[in-house]
């Protein structure tokens, strides 16, 4: 907490300021931060003093509003100093590999392509799987919730050593309307003889 000011008489509102000071990286280095959050309550200072002095002096004892910080409030901070650090891999980490359940189907959001677009209006996803490409790909699940299937336009189909890859595209607005701020997950799926197969794509979205 950087600064707290209670509300006061005369219509003076309360204030809360939260400042980002420092944190530590995974290897113990101090990371200096800047930025924070400022919140003011409702103020009636000018009105209270005008009415109090001209008409009724007890009005001067009317307090301003409290500055409230609702649970879940999000505020941004930025790093000040440049850092370089290495994270050692965990050699004994136990991993559950479920990739085989999707029949070797992969989907990856093409971030560099999106950033290079003049209008940022199309999401492109690189898909690849073993064998021939199915006739239709859809996005039917966003953040764990089923949505009306959004059909992907498939292009640039290539085959090599029994594996087929392609570029699947969809309008950014059509998909983004299902997103929330922060980390979002959606599933690219296809029908394989009545069996749904899907691959998850993860995106960090700023709304």
**CATH number of 138's domain:** 2.60.40
What span, in angstroms and rounded, lies between the C-alpha atoms of 99 and 198?
10
Same domain, 107 and 67: no
SS3 137: coil
Domain extent at residue 175 = 100-205
Residue 90 lies in a domain: no
Residue 111 lies in a domain: yes
**What is the per-residue pLDDT for 7?**
44
**What is the per-residue pLDDT for 29?**
78
At 24, list the tokens: 């530590």
Contact 189/141 with Cβ under 8 angstroms? yes
**What is the per-residue pLDDT for 95?**
56
Same domain, 104 and 187: yes
**What is the per-residue pLDDT for 42?**
45
pTM, to two decimals: 0.51
Same domain, 111 and 25: no
Same domain, 107 and 57: no
Same domain, 72 and 105: no
Residue 93 lies in a domain: no
Residue 75 lies in a domain: yes
Residue 10 lies in a domain: yes
Instruction: Summarize pLDDT for 184-200 with one digit per residue, the tens.
Output: 899 999 998 889 999 99
156 closest CA partner among 165, 148, 143: 165
Residue after which a domain boundary falls, among 49, 79, 109? 79
Residue 53 lies in a domain: yes
For strands 138-142 and 182-192, give the pairing: antiparallel
At 133, list the tokens: 């490409």
Number of structural domains in the chain: 2
Residue 87 lies in a domain: no
Same domain, 72 and 109: no
**What is the per-residue pLDDT for 51?**
41
Contact 133/126 with Cβ under 8 angstroms? no
Same domain, 123 and 192: yes
Same domain, 114 and 197: yes
Same domain, 55 and 125: no
The residue ranges of the chain whose pLDDT is under 70 are 1-20, 35-76, 85-103, 206-207
Same domain, 117 and 184: yes
Same domain, 125 and 196: yes
Same domain, 109 and 157: yes
Residue 152 lies in a domain: yes
189 closest CA partner among 177, 179, 201, 206: 201
């Amino acid at each position: 907490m950087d600064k707290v000011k209670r509300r006061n008489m005369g219509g003076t509102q309360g204030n809360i300021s939260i400042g980002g000071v420092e944190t530590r990286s995974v290897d113990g280095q101090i990371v200096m931060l800047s930025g924070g959050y400022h919140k003011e309550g409702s103020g009636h200072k000018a009105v209270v003093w005008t009415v109090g002095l001209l008409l009724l002096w007890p009005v001067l004892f009317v307090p301003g509003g409290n500055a409230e910080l609702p649970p879940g409030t999000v505020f941004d901070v930025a790093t000040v100093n440049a850092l370089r650090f290495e994270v050692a891999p965990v050699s004994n980490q136990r991993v559950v590999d479920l990739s085989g359940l999707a029949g070797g189907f992969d989907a990856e959001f093409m971030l560099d392509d999106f950033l290079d677009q003049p209008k940022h209006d199309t999401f492109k996803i690189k898909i690849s799987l073993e064998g021939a490409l199915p006739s239709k790909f859809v996005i039917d699940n966003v953040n764990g919730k089923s949505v009306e299937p959004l059909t992907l336009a498939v292009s640039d189909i290539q085959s090599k050593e029994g594996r087929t890859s392609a570029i699947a595209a969809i309008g950014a607005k059509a998909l983004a309307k299902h997103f929330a701020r922060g980390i979002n997950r959606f599933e690219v799926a296809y029908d394989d003889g009545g069996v749904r197969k899907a691959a998850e794509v993860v995106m960090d979205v700023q709304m």
